[in-house]
Amino acid sequence: MMSSRDLQLYSKYAEGMRYLLAQSPDTRDLVPEVEEGKWERIGKKKDVEMYKEIAKPPEKLNKTRGIGVITAPPELVATVVEDEYEAWDDSIKDLKTLTSERDPQTGALVEICWSRYCLQVPLLKDRDFLYREVTQKLPNGVIVIYGQSLSQEEEQGVEGVPSIKGVTRGEMGASGWVIAPIDGGAASRVTYVALTDLKGTFPPALVNQFTQDVPLTVNDVRKVVLKKLPAQQK
């Protein structure tokens, strides 16, 4: 049994990763010092439990959370989440990994990524995001994938970022995935937390409405994962 004393996270984003772990029913006990969000249940759709956390002033954007089971090992789920964005997110237009390295202390994979999205809303410009993504496997088999936008200062030092006219730079808050093994590792309980600021002139109230179904991303990933399983495992 893993305890909080065994938890060593990628240091730069340790606080954000601890927050993410606190939002999963499978890893909450590892971070007893971190409060779980004040989640309100939206409902259950497509076998995904859907939640939102209402923003408290001066914040205006709600966070969302989806929790669902995928009958596949965590490693396969994580591979689809990391490497097959285009298969489970039809709003993505382009994705580039600009840097990639292993953290020698934790073994975490640390990447700086750029992505561009078509929001599929009339007259609304495409959005792009420049962010750091950290993937770390814990001793108990849980895989954490944490993402957060770079600061403006950090952005200045990144080479190879596409510059596209008419695209608005969005901001990714503390977001990501906790993929926990269940049923002896044959299946995974997946918790997905997202906080996205579309920036520009898009009113926060509409952003909150626009992102209400984001928890269903768990089901989008599930559909791709299940196609990869041998028929007898589905």
Query: Which one-letter amino acid corresponds to residue 185?
Result: G
pLDDT value of residue 230: 75
Dist CA 13 CA 31 (whole Å): 14
Distances in Å between the alpha carbon of 140 and those of 62, 160, 184, 185, 189? Answer: 31, 37, 11, 11, 14
58: tokens are 């001066």
pLDDT of residue 131: 98
Domain-wise residue ranges, the chain: 9-229
CA distances from 144 to 10, 45, 50, 88 (A): 11, 24, 20, 19
- Vertex 159 angle, CA 153 and 162, to 5°: 100
Q: What is the 3-state secondary structure (H, E, C) of 140-207?
A: CCCEEEEEEECCHHHHHCCCCCCCCCCCEECEECCEEEEEEEEHHHCEEEEEEEECEECCCCCCHHHH
- The per-residue pLDDT for 67 is 99
Question: Is there a contact between 142 and 27 (Cβ–Cβ < 8 Å)?
Answer: yes
Q: What is the pLDDT of residue 233?
A: 63
* Strand partners for 218: none
Question: Rounded to two decimals, what is the model's pTM?
Answer: 0.94
Chunked mean pLDDT (size 10), the chain, 234 residues: 80 96 97 96 98 96 98 97 95 95 97 93 86 97 98 94 91 98 98 95 88 97 93 55
Length of the chain: 234
Reduced to 3 states (helix: H, G, I; strand: E, B; else coil), residue 131 is strand
Quick one: pLDDT at residue 234?
Answer: 56
Q: At what angle do helices 74-83 and 217-228 cross, to 10 degrees?
A: 110
Q: Yes or no: say if 138 and 24 are a contact pair by the CB < 8 Å rule.
A: no
Write down the pLDDT at residue 5. Answer: 73
Question: Residue 133: helix, strand or coil by DSSP?
Answer: strand
* Residue 68 β-bridge partners: 190
Name the fold adopted by 9-229.
Answer: Alpha-D-Glucose-1,6-Bisphosphate; Chain A, domain 4 (3.30.530)
Cβ density class 130-157: b for 16+ within 10 Å, e for less? bbbbbbbbbeebbbbbbbbbbeeeeeee
